Each structure stands twice: as structure tokens, then as C-alpha cells.
Amino acid sequence: MLEQRDASFVDIDLLTAFIAETSEQIERLVMILLQIETDKDRQSEFIDEMFRLAHNIKGSSGIIGLSEVTEVMHEIEDLFTAVRNGQYALDNEAIDLLLSFADEFNNYLTKNVMTTPFAGEKWLEKFKSLTNKETAADGSSPKPVPALVLSEEEKAKVNAWQEEGKCVYEVSLKFSPDATLRCVAAVIFLRYIRTLGNVLTTAPSENLIPEENYASFRVVLFTEDQLTPEEEQSILNYPLNDGVQEINIRKWHYRSEDQRGIDLAAGDSMAGQTIRVKAERIDNVINELGKLLTIKTSLSHLYQNGYQGKPTWEQLAKILQELDQTVSTLQTGAMDLRMIPVRQLFSRFPKIVRDITKLLGKKVELHFVGEDTEIDKHIGEELVDALTHLLRNAVDHGLEDMETRKKLGKDPTGHITLSTRQEGSHIVISISDDGRGLDLEMIKEKAIATGLITEDNNLSDEEIIRLIFTPGFSTSSQVSEISGRGVGMDVVKTNLKKLQGDIDVKTEPGRGTTFLLRVPLTLAIIQSFMVKVGGQIFGIPVTDVVQSIVIKEEEIHTAGDQLIFYRYPETIPLVDLGEHFRFPFARDKTRIPVVIINSGRGHVGFIVEELIGLEDIMTKPINKAMGELHQIAGAALLGSGQIGLILNHQLIAQQLLYID
């Protein structure tokens, strides 16, 4: 029986650090397992790191007092030791079990660590039964797969060789269970491999080849140039005895020390509300703070000396200029501290896609483009749900099953590409699939059947596509674990509204669908166009401001209850912000200030009392005690000492245009 710990004895500060670090380590372990699942030969490449991750979690959990976790991690550590010693090979059953453990353990860390003991007994039993079942068909122990573990010196040689642009290959023979004369095949094959390059090491080592107690023979080969297709075929088709089941060749891809550090830091640090920050960025901020301190001292001396004519005034102007430059640099540096590469956001998605494809019986490859693009951590957190729903939708609705894809002449494996790029002050994330595309006729029929529209509605293709974002709308006829409840796409749109973002959809029948998400680079510090309405100052993020104009009362027309302003060749709907927010003000009929913004593919105008101009502001969330204020994105303390309210301008515009 595992000893349970009392949560009241756990140090809260230590526990917080443990959760953050362990979440990253579990995320990294999941990424490794997904790579091994795709290519079983790679377990030798990662086994040292997997063992180290398990060992670190075991040690940390022991310090915290989570003894049930410590026991399970010790068993996993033993499993990885067996793999490293060539006594066990991770098959699909083992990988499934480890991934299931990772899911439950992650859930435990984020929700139950202070309230419920971990289900250690269950996992101990599962991992022990996994390793104990390995026996050959005749009752004897199976021949082990020899571990290909490089020494530190060998790793350094591989690193140096690849840095020079040269190639490293792993070539392996797999023997059948009843193979005889393994040593003969291994020696002949090794002699041939040496004609193609330099052999770094083998597994088993050359002095152990005669023992015949191994299931495979593996060689690490150095070559000056990449092997030609003819050379690769000569290796794969090399004539050996019947005991050789198959021959494989795999090129090792170069990863620099910096890239390895990035991979290790690619875990989900969001769960613990922590960010991994490069030391260089922190140093830059500290340096700017030092300059700010110097400027503060200079201003204090200037104040103490008092006004002494024009030189004092010129000195003040110079100090203020330095202050402006330093604050601007410090502002940029502080924003950089909040930025994370989107690879940290994307790292969880391979596991999500894998789970869905196993459930649906589909085969899907997930591709990433632009993983180094940086995004504000807060925005990244808010995007997780939206991206998850879109990926699930792409796998379930977008991609056909393997048989259908074969009949259509497509690759049986479906492909989804998740790409990111920066456009000015915005981040654009696209989710593309090569599936069937949206069936607009089916969407329209479903909307008519549910009463969302009538048969008389003459909708454009774009308007039909927009129907999928309506709350409760779904084209699935049955409710399943993945879809059919009509909440996924609505969640996408709701989350984007919070972020002052938008979404566009492009689809082509039989070719696939692309969802384009556009969100601000950051919401912390923004440039805003400030206006006054009934004495209250509002800010409109400048990224969507087209222009500010002054019009006359006679240029404003009405269509029903809607105010409009006609400017060739378009008609611009207007919103009187004074009436909208019940901050009335007297309008000068000859001078009516209007701010025109982008909204979707059109423009909307906001009637205001006064145009103030541009100002850099740091936004803060509205106090939750004030309730849900969806049309206000935040607040800011202005240079004048007043409080400015930041408009969720896209939401106001969409409500005006009846965009749901």
C-alpha cells in the first residue's frame, strides 16, 4: 500500500514551482512519445532524456511529499532503464499507457493536487504488468534490442560532424525471432557499411557481436555527403541470410545546443502561470531601469536647484527627451518579457490530434509553420480553446476517412497545417486541411431546418459560411464525443471577440478549408486613438482606425433606425457613442467628429464629442465586481491623470451590422 501524504504539510511555494516545472517535463515527455510512436527506432535517441525526465519528477515529488507520485515515477524510471539496457522496447501498448498516465497526471497537477491523493496503486499495477508480460512464444525470454547510447565524447563528435554540414545515419538490421548466425550477418553487413563512410559505434558493440543474444544490430555511420538514392537502395537491398527480417536507414537531423534548449523549454508553462524568459531580455530591462534611475536623479537635482534661466530650461528639455527614449525602450522590453514563441502554444496539439484520430480511425499528419513567431502569453492562453476546437473540427468534419481519400485519388493520410505569421501589430494564425471543404448547400439546408434562416433568404457564400459560428449550430446529425453539440465554433468566435480579433474562412470543395485567425500582437501596451464622449475619454486601438473626419449634420442620413454617412463609393453605418453609452453631449451641427474603423470587409463610423489624438497606453482589465462589460476591453490611466476606457470596437461594430 502506498503511503499517502497530508496536503497540509506541503509547502505552497514549493508546490507551485513543482507544478510549473513538472507540467513542462510531462509535456516534453508526451512530445517524445509521439515522435517514438511515429518512428519506433527513435527510442534509443531519446531514452536518456526520458529517463532524466522521470528521474527529475521522482526526485521533486519526493521533496514535496507526494509519495504516491514518487513510487509511480520510480516504476516508470525502471521501465526506461530496461529500454536503455536493451531489455525492453516501447511498443504501442506501452506508449498508450504512458500517454494515458500523462493525461491523468496533468489533470491531477492542475486540479486535484491539494485535495485528492494521486491514484498511484492503479498506475503501479499497470506499469508492472506491462514489463512482466514480456516472454517469447516458447516461454523463453525474448532477445533484447541492444541500447544505442552514445557517450558524451561520441555526442560531441556527432555534434561537431553535423555542424560542418556533414551527415550522420543510423542503419539497423532486425532479426527474426528464430534467426541463427546473427553474428555472421552483422559482421558481413558492418564490413559493407564501412565502404560508405566512417562507423562511430555499433549496438551491440563489436566485441559482443559473437554472443548472438540480440534482436537487432545497429550502426552509426558518418558520411561526408548525403547518401545518394542508389546508395540507400544498396543498403536496404543488401543480400543477407534469411534470419534478417528487415533493414532500415534513418538520417539524424542536426539540432544545435540552442535548439535543444528550446525543445526542452517547449512545455506548457501556461498552466503554472510562468514564462521562460531569455536572460538577455531581463538584462536589457534592468539596463533601461538603470537609465531611468539616472534620469530621475537628474530631474530631482534640477528641481532642487530651481529655475535659473534658459540653460535650466534647455537642460530640462534634454532630460525629458532622454526620459521619453528610455521609457519607450523599457516599454518594448517589458512587452518582450510577456512574449512567448507560438511553439509553446502548439506543443499540446499533436497529442490532441493523435487522440481524435485514434478515436475516428483516421490517419492525420500535423504540420507546423512559423513556430518561432512570438505572441503575448495572455493572448496565447485565450487562443488555446479556439485552436483546439478548430483542430478537432478539421479532423472530424474536414478530413475524409482513408478509404474515401483513396477513392478520390488523395493521400490516405490527411494533412493539417497550423501556421503563424506576424502582420504589423497583429498575429495571423491559419488552420488548413486538405479535406472535403465546407458543404455550403448542407449548411444552408441545416440553417433552414433549424429556423435560423428562411428559404427566401438569398445569402452569399460568405454569409452562409458565417452561419457556422451561430450558437448551437451544427451540421452533425449525431452527438458524439467530438462534435454535434453546436458549441465549438461559437466558442471560437466568442474567444476572438474578447481578444479584439476576427476570423475568416476560405474553402474549396474537394480541396480543403482554411480558418484564418487575426489577433493583436499584445493587449498590454497599445497605441490608441483617444476621443471624448460626454466628458468620458474612450480609446480605440489605432490598428483598426482608418481615419478621423469632421462632417456636417446634413451629411448624416437615416435608413430606418440606422444612421448612415455616404462616401463614394460606399455607405458607412454610424454609431453615436453618446447615445450608445448614455453619455449625452450637445452636437455642433456644423462640426461633427467621426472616427472611421475597419470592421470585417467594410467600415463603421463612431460619432464622438471631441477628437483628442494618439496616445500610448497600458491597458488593465476592468474590475470583475463591475460585472460583464463586453463592449469595454479594458481601462488605462492616462497622462492627464484621467481614466480612459478602451472600446471593444469590433464587437460594437458587429452588433451594429447584425453580425452574430
pLDDT of residue 257: 45
Residue 160 CA to residue 258 CA, distance in Å, equals 14
Find the farthest-apart pair of alpha carbons in the chain and give their distance in angstroms, rounded: 102
**8 Å CB contact between 150 and 84:** no
pLDDT of residue 254: 59
The alpha carbon of 420 is separated from its chain's Cα centroid by a whole number of angstroms, namely 10
Beta strands in 204-283 (DSSP E): 216-223, 244-251
Q: What percent of the chain has pLDDT over 70?
A: 85
**Going by DSSP bridges, is the β-strand pair 602-607/570-576 parallel, antiparallel, or unpaired?**
parallel
Q: Mean pLDDT, the chain, as a whole number?
A: 81
- State in words which class domain 525-656 has: mainly beta
- Helix (H) / strand (E) containing 253: none
Q: What cell does 434 get?
A: 486538405
Q: Say which range, 35-49, 133-147, 154-168, has the weakest mean pLDDT.
A: 133-147
Confidence of residue 133 (pLDDT cuts 50, 70, 90): low
> What would the pLDDT profile of 473-516 be if each residue is shown by its tens digit?
776 655 455 554 344 687 788 778 778 788 889 999 999 999 99
Q: Identify the residue with better confidence: 136 or 148.
A: 148
Residue 447 vs residues 141, 507, 646: alpha-carbon distances, Å: 62, 19, 35
pLDDT of residue 147: 67
Residue 244 vs residues 140, 179, 227, 240: alpha-carbon distances, Å: 20, 7, 23, 7
- One-letter amino acid at 278 equals K
pLDDT of residue 18: 83
> What would the pLDDT profile of 280-289 be if each residue is shown by its tens digit?
777 777 777 7
**8 Å CB contact between 376 and 339:** yes
Confidence of residue 381 (pLDDT cuts 50, 70, 90): confident
**Going by DSSP bridges, is the β-strand pair 339-341/610-618 parallel, antiparallel, or unpaired?**
unpaired
pLDDT of residue 145: 67
260 pLDDT higher than 50: no
261 pLDDT higher than 50: no
Query: Residues 523-529: what's their mean pLDDT?
Result: 77
Residue 554 CA to residue 570 CA, distance in Å, equals 17
Residue 138 CA to residue 136 CA, distance in Å, equals 5
pTM over 0.85: no
For domain 7-132, the question of CATH label 3.30.70.120 is answered with no
- One-letter amino acid at 653 equals A
> What would the pLDDT profile of 590-615 be if each residue is shown by its tens digit?
999 999 998 766 889 999 999 998 88
For domain 152-257, the question of CATH label 3.30.870.10 is answered with no
Residue 647 CA to residue 413 CA, distance in Å, equals 45
CATH code, residues 355-520: 3.30.565.10
Rg (CA), the chain: 31
Residue 649 CA to residue 605 CA, distance in Å, equals 10
> What would the pLDDT profile of 292-337 be if each residue is shown by its tens digit?
777 777 777 677 677 667 787 788 878 878 887 877 777 777 777 7
**8 Å CB contact between 378 and 335:** no
Given CA atoms 539, 545, 550, 556 in this order, what sign does their dihedral have? negative
> What would the pLDDT profile of 181-218 be if each residue is shown by its tens digit?
888 888 989 999 999 999 999 988 888 888 888 888 88
Residue with cell 513538472: 22
pLDDT of residue 200: 92
Query: Residues 380-397: what's their mean pLDDT?
Result: 88
Report which of 427, 562, 575 is spatially closest to residue 499, judged by C-alpha positions: 427
pLDDT of residue 265: 32
pLDDT of residue 210: 86
